[in-house]
Amino acid sequence: MPEIGDVVEMIVDWPERNLRVGVQGTIVHCHSKNDYEVEFTNENGETLDFLALSDEQFVVVWQVKTQEWVTLSEQTAAIVKHLPENTAREVLDFARFLSLKHHLTNQNMLPQIAG
């Protein structure tokens, strides 16, 4: 469960507020079990916007509780959890493809492309 101080990353666009997928902010208030006030700042630490978001609109990328970044596999799983089943299956198929590619590359079994 997200907590005040966690750094989150948007997984949806909010164009009317000029916030796009990937932008990061910090949880500054918990409204309810699944709604959080997130502050977005620029590189100088100046507040750009505050936005109330549900936990389906972001993933936690850094946890205040552990003082650590969330692993990529945990971030990926959190995003996939919110996708429709058919889209989640596409992600799984792509992950399988990348796993095979990695395995073959490490064994030098991929054909070399002349450059």
Number of domains composing the chain: 2
21-60 pLDDT, tens digit each: 999 999 999 998 889 999 999 888 899 899 999 999 999 9
Q: What is the pTM of this model?
A: 0.82
For residue 1, tell me if it sits in a domain: no
Across 87-104, average pLDDT: 93
Residues 6+ apart with CB under 8 A from 38: 8, 25, 26, 27, 28, 50, 51, 52, 53, 58
State whether 14 and 63 are in the same domain. yes
Grade residue 110 by pLDDT with cuts at 50, 70 and 90.
low
Give the Cα separation of 88 and 80 in Å (integer): 6
The owner of tokens 């079990």 is: 33
- Residue 54, Ramachandran bin (φ over 0: left; ψ between -120 and 50: alpha; else beta): beta
How many residues belong to the chain? 115
96 located within any domain: yes
Q: What is the pLDDT of residue 113?
A: 57
Domain limits for position 16: 7-70
